[in-house]
Amino acid sequence: MNGERTAIDLWVGAFVALGIGAMLFLALKVGNLVSFGSPPGYRIEARFDNIGGLKLRAPVKAAGVVVGRVEDVRLDPKTYQAVVTLKIDRDYEFTADTIASILTSGLLGEVYIGLDAGGDTKMLGDNGRVTKTQSAVILEKLIGQFLLDKAAGGGK
Partner 1 sequence: MPSVAATLAGALRRMGSGTLGAIARLGYAARFSVAVVRETPAAFARLHLTVREIYFSGVLSLVIIAVSGLFVGMVLALQGYDVLQRYGSDESLGVLVALSLVRELGPVVAGLLFASRAGSAITAEIGLMKATEQLSAMEMMAVDPLARVVAPRFWGGVIAMPLLAAIFSMLGIYGAYLVGVKLIGIDVGAFWANMQANVDFRYDIVNGIIKSVVFGIAVSLIAVFEGFDAKPTAEGVSSATTRTVVGSSLTILALDFVLTVFMFRGLR
Minimum CB separation of residue 123 from partner 1 in Å reads 28
CB 67 within 8 A of CB 92: yes
CB 133 within 8 A of CB 99: yes
Residue closer to partner 1 by CB (options 83, 117) is 83
Interaction site with partner 1 (CB under 8 A): 5, 8-9, 11-12, 14-16, 18-20, 22-23, 25-27, 29-33, 35-37, 55-57, 108
Residue closer to partner 1 by CB (options 31, 118) is 31
Minimum CB separation of residue 71 from partner 1 in Å reads 13
Minimum CB separation of residue 33 from partner 1 in Å reads 5
